[in-house]
Amino acid sequence: MTGGIAPRPPRTPTLYKWLELKGKMLKFMQEFPLDGDEVAALEGDLAAVERLVQKHFDKPTPDDCTPRQIMEVASDGEGQA
């Protein structure tokens, strides 16, 4: 029994963490005034995080599907009645 909590689709824990970090960095950049050097540093870090996200996007999950395959299946089902 899950206690009323819906199960999440399988993801690699590392991919989930990198996506979460990327979201937090983007939010930080929007909420705090930064000078040019600070923006450049964060943008460089974001580029590095994006490379890591892409690296893990094709790494198989425990059910042997990659996150990319899971998202493709989910998007194929959208808009169909």
Report the C-alpha gap between 76 and 19 in whole angstroms: 22
- pTM score, whole prediction: 0.50
* Contact of 66 with 59, CB cutoff 8 Å: yes
- How far is residue 42's CA from residue 25's CA, in Å, rounded to a whole number? 8
Decide if pLDDT at 8 tops 60.
no
pLDDT tens, residue by residue, 13-59: 777 888 888 888 889 889 988 888 888 888 888 888 888 778 877 88
Residues 6+ apart with CB under 8 A from 66: 57, 58, 59, 60
Q: At residue 11, does pLDDT exceed 60? A: no
Asked whether residue 79 carries a pLDDT value surpassing 60, the answer given is no
Q: Look at residue 31 in the predicted model and tell me its pLDDT.
A: 92
Domain ranges of the chain: 13-60
Q: What pLDDT does 54 receive? A: 81
